Amino acid sequence: MVYIMYLFLFGLILGLSAVASNPSPYFAALGLVVVAGVGCGVLVEHGGSFLSLILFLIYLGGMLVVFAFASAMAAEPHPKGWAHWPVLALMAFYLVWVIITLLMFSGGWYEVSPETVDEFNELFVFRGDMGGVALMYSTGGGLLILGAWTLLLTLFVVLELTRGLSRGALRAV
């Protein structure tokens, strides 16, 4: 299980560097899908299976639709992929930067074994992630409404940025 967790964490770092280094929205969307899937895998490894499923469904169902619409409005005839040298150089720079930062600040972090949510007590009635979801809707309702408002505002900002030269959002691509 430790090797699977290392594989998930390596995929997370690789996907994040792919998103940060790519100038094309098409390949950045693919990198975001990989990062969302691998991040949910990390949550599953720590015992949050319900939370990772909900996060994955909400992310792919909501934000990627907005991102796909925005990338369709800003269509490029020849997008730059990961095989172009400037993109590869920037991705290598990000990976080297992560490795140097890891070596600088990794003083003994590997000696502690992380516990999952379910390993604290054997006689719990609820799983830890389901109790967190219940708390999110009961005491965190204001923050949930603030998050929904922020996503709506982000949608309008993305649509305004990709609108073009005063042609409106419904133009021929």
d(CA 35, CA 19): 9
> Is 33 within a domain?
yes
> Is 36 within a domain?
yes
pLDDT for res 152 = 87
Look up the CATH number of the domain holding residue 71.
1.20.120
Its domain, for residue 33, covers 2-161
Look at residues 89, 83, 76 and name the one whose alpha carbon lies nearest to residue 24.
76
For 10-15, what is the mean pLDDT?
A: 86
pTM for this entry: 0.62
Residue 49, pLDDT > 80, answer: no
pLDDT tens across 100-158, in order?
888 887 766 555 555 555 555 566 666 666 666 777 778 878 888 898 899 889 878 87
With a pLDDT cut of 90, the percent of the chain lying above it is 2
How many domains, the chain? 1
> Is 154 within a domain?
yes
With a pLDDT cut of 70, the percent of the chain lying above it is 68
Residue 33 binned pLDDT confidence (cut-offs 50, 70, 90): confident
d(CA 124, CA 111): 28
d(CA 63, CA 54): 13
pLDDT for res 119 = 56
> Is 169 within a domain?
no
Residue 6, pLDDT > 70, answer: yes
> Is 172 within a domain?
no
- Looking at per-residue pLDDT, the higher value among 60 and 92 belongs to 92
> Is 170 within a domain?
no
Give the number of C-alpha atoms closer than 13 A to the C-alpha of residue 46, restricted to the C-beta side: 16
